[in-house]
Amino acid sequence: MTRVIHTGDTHVGYAQYHSQVRRQDFLDAFGAVIDDSIDGDVDAVVHAGDLFHDRRPELPDLMGTISVLRRLDDADIPFLAVVGNHESTRGGQWLDLFERLGLATRLGDEPTVVGDTAFYGLDHVPVSRRDDLDYAFAGHGVDHAALVAHGLFEPFGYADWDTAEVLAESDIDFDAMLLGDNHKPDVAEVDDTWVTYPGSTERASASEREGRGYNLVTFGPDAAGGDDCVDIRRRALDTRPFAFVEVELHEGEGESRVRDRIREHDLADAVVLVDVTGGGDPVTPAAIETFATDEGALIARVNDRREVETDAEIEVSFADPEDAVRERLDGMDLSQAARDVEGAVRTDSIPDANVRETVKDRVEERIDDVAAFERVEPDDSEGDADENDADGDEGDTDESDADDDNADGNDADGGVTDEIGKDGEETNSGARDGDGQVSMEDYL
Ligand SMILES: [Mn+2]
């Protein structure tokens, strides 16, 4: 019998909303998972990638992480991990540093055996380089096996990695795939193998509404009763409270109505996210945000969606202006970096208050990638044509994603960026080796 805690997408170092308090929250969530691991005396902690929010964590993030890993090491519990897309660097990995310090084991093609279970690792690999993977893993002599991997796997949202294919091509008969990358917790069975995401440990985007947590996974004969040898249970984490306030304004209603709706929520130390829809009077987002923080919120953001809706009504009788914009953009030879910035400014899914931060982050993400700043000639190769097509799709996706965001709070913003990320990987693969940014903007 082997009992492990399966976690991932910790995103240590993420100063969400430029908040140092939020930055500490992400580290604290990691600490809480590790404390539970020690209290529960599990056999190992399995981390499925994105321990860090980006590939250049700052010294306090590194020192804080090392302190947490030392607590685990002092309890003689191994930390087994893979590298995610957010933290991946072109040189060595941060995980290698922790391994050198004796605080972690980087999982790979060779088995790492804990009790009666062999653990293997598959780091994030960009879409463009997945055809080269042979899924060759060395054999093991124990009863159970698990693959720890970072990527968007079937059958869950935004999947671009075929789980059935991985399982079929692999030399090992895995009992479970313990995954990271998708921040939405879920579990499914694919060809008799359990496939599960524990979700992120702090809300890294407004679309992550449900409570955060991690998985407790047990391998052993009849672990789950019957003849199933894998038992997966979700455990909740106590994280920063978020208040999601949705206000539909009607004629004659304005800021006082928005304030009333905000007051209905528990604001103490919460991140308060306000969505304004409908009609009614103009409101000043900054004034409402100040009101919420005066009432005790840690951070407040107002997203007034009404302007967009009004425009859409006018546009119906004409050719779609968004199409016209896309057509014009396609003829402008814009670099991928410029397209990222243009997309951030134009999309409906990023609140105005976050555009500045989003643009900064997107440029920072690309800053080492010279090719991303080169003009892209349209229509002179298959690759570029694909890119143009994809950009058209991206615009469409933006709109539907914004709606999704309203409707069910799924990883809507991520969908948009996934398109950008895949796009870049497929058409510009060489230059973007290693940073595989599938879902950076997911977490803005
Ligand atoms: Mn992540």
pLDDT in tens, 191-223: 999 999 999 999 999 999 999 999 999 999 878
pLDDT digits (tens, 9 = 90+) for 416-432: 333 333 333 332 223 22
Q: In the annotation, is 140 catalytic? A: no
The length of the chain, given as a count of residues = 444
CA of residue 440 to ligand 1 center, whole Å: 8
Residues 90 and 22 in one domain: yes
CA angle 440-306-183, nearest 5°? Answer: 25
Residue 34, pLDDT score: 98
Give the active site residue among 53, 86, 124, 144.
Answer: 86
Residues 174 and 208 in one domain: yes
Question: What is the per-residue burial (b if ≥16 Cβ within 10 Å, else e) of 4-21?
Answer: bbbbbbbbbbbbbbeeee
| 265 marked as part of a ligand binding site | no
Residue 35, pLDDT score: 98
Q: Which DSSP helix (H) or strand (E) runs through 198?
A: none
Residues 370 and 352 in one domain: yes
Residue 153 has what DSSP assignment? B
Examine residue 315 and state whether it is found in any structural domain, yes or no.
Answer: no
Examine residue 250 and state whether it is found in any structural domain, yes or no.
Answer: yes
The domain containing residue 389 runs over which residues? 331-443
Is 169's pLDDT higher than 50? yes
Residues 229 and 254 in one domain: no
Domain count, the chain: 3
Put residue 278 in one of left, alpha, beta given phi > 0 → left and psi -120 to 50 → alpha. Answer: left
| 47 marked as part of a ligand binding site | no
Residues, beta carbon < 5 Å, ion ligand 1: 9, 50
46-50, 292-296, 307-311: range with lowest mean pLDDT: 307-311
Distance, CA of 19 to CA of 17 (rounded, Å): 5
Is 380's pLDDT higher than 60? no
| 85 marked as part of a ligand binding site | yes
Residues 366 and 269 in one domain: no
CA of residue 11 to ligand 1 center, whole Å: 7
- The answer, as to whether pTM is greater than 0.85, is no
Residues 212 and 268 in one domain: no
